Structures are given as C-alpha cells and as structure tokens.
Structure 1
Amino acid sequence: MAFCCIIKKNGLGKFKKRELIKILREEVLNILDCQKAFLHIPSTVEDKHTNDGVSEHHIIEFFLDDLSSLEKGIHHIRSKLYSMGSYSEPIIQILLTREYEYKNNPIDEEKKFSYFVEYTGITNNDTAWCNHYIKNHVELMKKLPNIKQIVVHTPLAWIYPEGTHIFRSLLCNRVSFQTKRDFDSALKSSVRDEMREDYKKFPRFDGICTHYAMETYSIMAES
C-alpha cells in the first residue's frame, strides 16, 4: 500500500529550479524515507475544455509505504517549509495512492510535464464516486496519446499535529508526459473529448474541479 503527502506552498517562485530542488533534497527529504518525491512548478497549457489559469502554489509530492512515518515527519516538514520563500504555512494532505506507469515506455524521472487535477466538494457517496472515477475515467486516461504516468490519490484518515494547515480533497490525480509537445497533443486529442463527456456522467458532485499544468521534477534525481 502506498501513501502520498501532497504539500501546497506559495512563495517558492523566488528560487531558481535547481536551487529549490537542492534545498528540498537536503533540508526536507532527509526527514522521510521516501520511495520518490516530486516538485511541481506552475506552468501553462491550452485546454479546449478548461481554463483554470496558473496555480498560485508550488506542489510537492512525497511517496512512502509507511503512513506512520509520514505522520511523524509532518511537524518537521512544516517547520522546514514555513520559512522557505515566504513565511506562510504549507497546506498539507496525506492520501492513499494508486499509480499506473508504462514500463514498456519508461519516463525520464528527472523531468516531465503534468496536469494536476483536484476535486473538492461533496457527493452522495464518496466511495461510489471514487469507484466510478477509477473504473471509468482512469481507463480513458490510459488511452491518452503518449501518456507516461497516471497517479490517483484518494482520501484516508490520518493524524496530524495541532496547528497543521490541511486541505481536504475528494480525489486528486496527475497525468504526466515526457515532453510539452506530448502534453499539448494529448489535450487536443479526441480522448480528451471522451474524458469530458465522461465527466458529465459522473455521480452527483457538488464542488469544484481544478486543472493546473505543472513542470514536474524529481527531487531525488541528481540535477
């Protein structure tokens, strides 16, 4: 079973990319025994179906297979990130992760281009809603041309220190591509149209769904 700690933090745009990755690797990554970790830097893309602009946050993903290790590390991660870029609290959530990678067409782990999607709101039945999403929408994602990776995060109960700023999602997902050209082509494809039609068939959902383009870098890879 895999878990992911997703952290949103503003004010990190003042750092150059290599400098920021180095700081995260040396000052934050050593707190956790991660399987992998990624930094997502806000970017732009043209999508014929949505236009949510540019994310105000950088996003960090830490992947572990030990929930208690993540929970124990949250306080130290908060302390390290608080003063980085701006004195603002990082916003944190821990989720259960389902990951789909395409081994026959391996992705360069150092850099990729991603769409980070978040659903926030209420449903009549969260489990049924997520089940529909994974069984139907993810199957369409797998058909996107040149798709390299799909990650789906769903909620779970976790323990966090008092004062932790958390956000709660119904579901988050990330689709990643090797190049910006591949990313653009996927969003212009007929599969993207199929996904939009499927979105209209989702079980009842009252809330918002955001799509943010990101440049994605491995924090663990040498750069």
Structure 2
Amino acid sequence: MQFSYLVTFTHPDAAARISDDDCQRVLRELEATPSLSRVRLYTPSAAKDYYTDDGPSPILAFQLDFERLADLEAVISADGHLQTLAALDLASLRTSSVEQQVMLRRPFPVLDATPQVPTGALPCQFLVHYPGRAENFDAWLDYYLSHHPQIMKFFPGVREIEIFTGVDWIDAMPWTRVHYMQRNKLMFDSDAAVTNAMNSTVRHDMRADFEKFPPFEGSNIHHPMWADTRYPVKRA
C-alpha cells in the first residue's frame, strides 16, 4: 500500500511555463524529502482525445509517494520538509493557484510495462480526476475498480495504470486542500502514443463503460503531461 501527495499548480496564463531554474529548485527540494519512495514531476504536454478537450494542462504538478501515511503527514506538517518548498520564491510560478490532496495509490497491471521512450525524451502521462460526487460513493468506486482498469490495460502502448482513492489526512501547508473523489494516471511512451490510445477502439470501450457508472456529478477532467520520475538516492 502506498500513499501519494498530489500537488497541482495552475497558472492564469495557459501558455506559461515553469523556468528551468525554478524547475531545478523544485526538484532539489522534492528529491530531498525524507521517507520518500518516488517522486514524479509533471509539466505540460499535449495530446488529442476522441471524446474530451479539457483545455491546456497545468503549468506544473508533482506526485510524492510514501509507504506510510504518517511519513507523508510528517513532511507536510507545520515544521515539515515541504514547508521549505512552499516558501520558495519561484518567479515563474508566483501567480499560480495551488491545490493539494493526499490519496491512496492503487497500481493495476498492464499488458506490456516495458517502456520504449525516445532517447532524450520523457514519457507522457494522461492525468484524469473526478472532482464531483457520487450518489453512492461505495457503489461507484466498487464498479470503477472492478471494471474500468480492466479495460484500460488494453490501451495500445499503456505502460502503467495508477488509480488514486481518497483518505483523510492532516497538513499545515499553505495550499488549497481539494477532495476529488478519484484520480487515475496512465503512462505512455510519448504524447503521440497518448493520442493514438485515446483515438483507438479501446477508448470507445472506455466510454461505453463510463456510461454504465453508478450516478455521479462533476464529470472528469483529462490532462496530458510529461512525467519526470526520480527515486531517492540510497545512502550507505
């Protein structure tokens, strides 16, 4: 079982990008986080989905994975490590709004997890979140986890499936807390691979299953983003 800290920066200018210097400063702080098992830094990409167009991707997002909820909560406490990151004056992110959420990470199998990312490039991840509410959340989640990832694995070129579900958490970060009922992330080798998958016959199967979900409101939001994955250095 793993817990993930998910943070998203949305800039008022959809064309804005984080500067290289600010990106490196963020990465240094994230990689130094205690008890971390994995960090992912997301930056905007582009892909075309047959059914949806939710506009430009956020300027930045990151995902920090931990084995224990207590370890995660420690780094976002009043004297936690990530307060240093929140206090950084990052010029290219200065006017961004920031959302945060802690969730349980659920990996699901794929048919071929071997990446074939072009040399010098990053893989592309399709990030989805459900911001609304289900009439009966238990029934909704049971249906989703029992049906949707079992279709996702047939997407051509999908290398990883992660589904995130809610937990209660405590923090002292200066960022807005959100309580999205569910998220999922699909990893592909490139933005072109995302577009290919989202215009395949499997996408139509996904849509047909979506129409069978137990009643809920709020729809879902999709964003393609480049994914830079780092692992903490193990020290002797």
Q: What TM-score comes out, normalization by structure 1 length?
A: 0.88
Report which stretch shifted further, 85-94 or 131-140: 85-94
Match of 1:177 in 2: 188
The alignment partner of 2:76 has SS state of helix
Q: CA 1:104–1:163 in 2, change beyond 3 Å: closer, same or farther?
A: closer
1:97 to 99, 102, 105: 105
Counterpart code for 1:77 = L
Match of 1:167 in 2: 178
**How many pairs align?**
220
Identity across matched positions, percent = 23
> What does 1:1-223 align with in structure 2 at a 5 Å threshold?
1-10=1-10, 13-16=17-20, 19-75=21-77, 76-82=81-87, 83-84=89-90, 85-86=93-94, 90-100=98-108, 102=110, 105-107=113-115, 111-161=122-172, 164-220=175-231
Does the CA contact (< 8 Å) of 2:30 and 2:39 recur in 1? no
Secondary structure class of the residue paired with 1:14: coil
Alpha-carbon contact 1:25-1:220 (below 8 Å) kept: no
Any idea what SS the aligned residue of 2:32 has? helix
Q: CA deviation at 1:111?
A: 2.5
CA contact 2:18–2:59 (8 Å) conserved in 1: no
How far the C-alpha of 1:164 sits from its partner, in A, is 4.6
Query: Structure 1 or 2: larger helix share?
Result: 1
> Retained in 2: the 8 A contact 1:122–1:205?
yes
* Distance of 1:87 and 1:220 partners within structure 2: 29
What root-mean-square deviation, in Å, do the aligned CA atoms of Structure 1 and Structure 2 show?
2.5
Q: How far 1:32 moved relative to its partner?
A: 2.8
How far the C-alpha of 1:20 sits from its partner, in A, is 4.8
Note the residue ranges of structure 1 that are not aligned, 5 or more in a row: none
Output one character per residue of 1:23-77: Cα deviation in whole Å (capped at 9) or x when no partner: 2332232123221111111221111100001123411001110111111111442
Partner SS, residue 137 of structure 1 = helix
Paired with 1:15 and 1:208, the residues of 2 have a C-alpha distance of 32
Distance 1:112 1:9 in 2: 20
Name the SS of the counterpart of 1:60 in structure 2: strand
Deviation at 1:78, TM superposition (A): 4.2
CA, structure 1 residues 221+2, in 2 after alignment: closer, same or farther (shift >3 Å)?
closer
* Structure 2 unmatched ranges of 5 or more: none
Identify if the C-alpha distance between structure 1 residues 161 and 195 changes in structure 2 by more than 3 Å, giving closer, same or farther. same
Paired letter, 1:29 = E
Q: What TM-score, normalized by structure 2, do the two folds share? A: 0.83
